[in-house]
Amino acid sequence: MIIDKLDGLNVLDRYDIRVVRAKYVDSPEDAIAFAVRRTAQDERAIPIVLCAVSPDGAVPEAEGPLSGHDPIRAAFLALGPAVEASGGRILARAWIEQGTDIRIEGRTDAALGKCLTLSSRVHSVERMVPIDTQGAQALAEHFQGYHHRGDSEKSRRMLEHLLMRVSQFFNDEPEVESFTLNPVRIHENSYTVLDAIVRLSGPIHSRTRLDAHAHDRKGHYQPSGRQ
């Protein structure tokens, strides 16, 4: 079974994997309210993206970045027919500026066990889980070397850190049969998982440490890290 998208993001966050701030929204006003970040010092609107999420977790349509009441309201109404036809919902997420998008997949092979694949549009590399420090370094170097982008050591270390976190998540959660993190948006010194589809072989158990609200499809998901 594929778990709810917010549950998937929450599980990843529990493993210190940086994920996007997201929430299901049921009206244009709900989406507009999501675009306002409230802190003790200020109240300011931030750009957001609205996604039509189908029951299988796919995101066939997305609108954004959206700023201001009228564009958000118009985008919400435009996504309505697709959501109604699929029986899905509209997900709002914080807009993350453009960067390099990669894909990280986990699969369970009958012979090899759990494997992790790191890929771009033109190249992919795979390694068995768990991945230790040396394995993560080799995977990151191979991936960066193929693309010849002159990535900095900081970028490589960040990618290594991400791969080890994802490996730990996949290795420590026996119910996770497969997953797709796509896209993972990479910047010079940071990354953000924008979307996750997680497939389970059985029910989630307590070791995933989900918050009480995580199974509420109307819940607001706020990752612990800075956005």
What is the rounded average pLDDT for all residues in the chain?
86
Average pLDDT over residues 173-197: 94
Confidence at 211, pLDDT banded by 50, 70, 90: very low
Listing DSSP states for 80-148 in one string gives: HHHHHHHT-EEEEEE-----EEEEEEEEEETTTEEEEEEE-SS-EEEEESS--HHHHHHHHHHHHHHHT
Residue 26 has pLDDT above 50, yes or no: yes
Instruction: List CB contacts of 96: < 8 A, sequence separation 6 or more.
Output: 20, 185, 192, 194
Tell me the per-residue pLDDT of 42-73, one tens digit each, with 9 for 90 and over.
Answer: 666 789 999 999 988 888 888 999 999 999 99
H or E element in which residue 150 lies? none
Tell me the per-residue pLDDT of 85-133, one tens digit each, with 9 for 90 and over.
Answer: 889 999 999 999 999 899 999 999 999 999 999 998 888 999 999 999 9
Listing DSSP states for 196-217 in one string gives: EEEEESS---GGG---TTTT-T
Task: Assess contact for 212 and 220: CB atoms under 8 A.
Answer: no
pLDDT above 90 as % of the chain: 63
Rounded Cα distance between 123 and 147, Å, is 8
pTM: 0.85
Residue 153 has pLDDT above 90, yes or no: no
